[in-house]
Every structure is written in C-alpha cells, then in structure tokens.
Amino acid sequence: NAGVTQTPKFQVLKTGQSMTLQCAQDMNHEYMSWYRQDPGMGLRLIHYSVGAGITDQGEVPNGYNVSRSTTEDFPLRLLSAAPSQTSVYFCASSYIGLNAEAFFGQGTRLTVV
Amino acid sequence: AQSVTQLDSQVPVFEEAPVELRCNYSSSVSVYLFWYVQYPNQGLQLLLKYLSGSTLVKGINGFEAEFNKSQTSFHLRKPSVHISDTAEYFCAVTLMIKAAGNKLTFGGGTRVLVKP
C-alpha cells in the first residue's frame, strides 16, 4: 500500500551540481506530475506526463528535465542546480480525468548552496 | 489563465472554535474545485472536491465547503476544530476542458494553527 514514493527526503547540493529526484507510484495511474512548493506561492507545476513516453512542460519548467519510460516511474532531473531551486518538491499521480483526485508523495526538501 | 487566491495566509484559532478559510478563483472557463490539506512534514491529501450539483460539499474530518458561482468562491469551514487540524490548507482548481488535462492550479495556502 505504498502509494507515491519519493526519494530522497532531504538533499543539499552545491551550485552547479546535478541530481535526480525519484518518484514511483504503484496505483497504475496514467498521469504523473512534479510540483515545487515555495512559501506563500502554493504549489507550482514543473512538468507532467499523461503516460509512458509522453511528457510536457508546466508553469515553471526551466532548469528541470523529466522522462517517463514506465507507467510507475517519473524522475525529475536538475541539470545544473541554482539557489533559486531551493524548494520542497512534490510528485503526484492520478487517473486521467479532469476531476480525478491527485495522490502526493511526502516531498523532497532540496537546498542549493 | 486561471488563478486561485487564498485571502488569509495564516489563521490562528482556539480549539473547539469554528474556522473559515477563504478561497476565490478566476477563470475564463468553468472549473472543478478542490481543497487539499498538508499536515506537518507530509504530502498533500484531498479534503473535498466540488464537481457539480449541490453547492455544499462535505469532506473528511468534518470539513465542508460551499461553492458560490456568482462570487467565484469556494470557502472551507469547520464548526469546531481540534488540535489535530493544525495544518496548511490549499485551494486548487482544474479547468473543465479536456485539453487542460489534470493540471491543478493552487492558491498560496492558509496555515491554520489551533491553540488549546
């Protein structure tokens, strides 16, 4: 009964380093997405996917890359970390459908120094 | 483009008192409306959603929300809060058009602190 699993929970990076945030879901959801959460700004959509092999940009995609090779996994890559990418990152999944409930992981707290 | 405004960033409230969290939205097309809750150090979970029909929606943990189309609002209420309701609450919308997919647009969040 895992739901949406994100790793790692915490990460500190130096400016310019790259890393991958992992996200896996076991509910066979077609739709997966990545959000970043910043104080007072709610959650903003970075990238999303409607199925394996299909990804698209959200509201704030710059500096991030995604791929979706399987239904279960949707990793988020930071290509060259910047202090502005210090944030809490959430992965979410749902069935395709305008009113579908989104299920969220517990988040990854990333600090870029 | 759509937007969601949560009018209060923080709401302190005493235990067993009522609470109302305000949410207004702006959109050129019809929307579905959601409230999510984030307990400390956790991800978000769905409290309730409005799709159609009765404008009063009941959710989990005694929360309810009322959709007001003329005022483009979806305020969340609970008649008597508990310490365990201390959390951050997010109002969100999805557009009622297929091309928009499942994309959620969130408000800035309201942090509720329940005091004994």
Pairing of strands A54-57, B10-14: unpaired
**A4, closest residue in chain B (CA to CA):** B43
What are the tens digits of pLDDT across the range B32-78? 999 999 999 889 999 999 988 889 999 999 999 999 999 999 999 99
pLDDT computed for residue B9 by the predictor: 94
pLDDT computed for residue B2 by the predictor: 87
Tokens linked to B51: 């799709």
Residue numbers in A near B101 (CB within 8 A): 31, 48, 50, 96, 98
Tokens linked to B13: 């409230």
- Is the distance from CB of A79 to CB of A18 less than 8 angstroms? yes
Partner B contacted by A52 (CB < 8 A): no
Give the Cα separation of A84 and A66 in Å (integer).
Answer: 19
In the structure, what pLDDT confidence band is assigned to residue A1 with cuts at 50, 70 and 90?
A: low
Give the Cα separation of B33 and A99 in Å (integer).
Answer: 8
Residue numbers in A near B108 (CB within 8 A): 40-42
Only one residue has tokens 């307990």, namely B39
Q: Per the CB < 8 Å rule, is B102 touching A102?
A: yes
CA-to-CA separations, A81 to A16, A74, A111, A112, in angstroms, rounded: 5, 19, 9, 7
- Is the distance from CB of B81 to CB of B17 less than 8 angstroms? yes
| Alpha helix positions (H), chain A | none
Give the Cα separation of A62 and A42 in Å (integer).
Answer: 18
pLDDT computed for residue A38 by the predictor: 93
Give the Cα separation of A79 and B23 in Å (integer).
Answer: 36
Q: Is the pLDDT of residue A99 over 80?
A: no
Section B81-93 average pLDDT:
96
Measure CB to CB from residue A99 to each of B9, B45, B51 and give the nearest one.
B51
pLDDT computed for residue A39 by the predictor: 87
Q: Is the pLDDT of residue A87 over 90?
A: yes
Cα distance from A36 to chain B (closest Cα, Å)?
A: 11
In the structure, what pLDDT confidence band is assigned to residue B1 with cuts at 50, 70 and 90?
A: confident
pLDDT computed for residue B52 by the predictor: 83
Residue B1 neighbours by CB under 8 Å, 6+ apart? none
Average pLDDT over chain A reads 94
Q: With H, G, I as helix, E, B as strand and everything else as coil, classify residue A18.
A: coil
In this prediction, what percent of chain B has a pLDDT beyond 90?
78
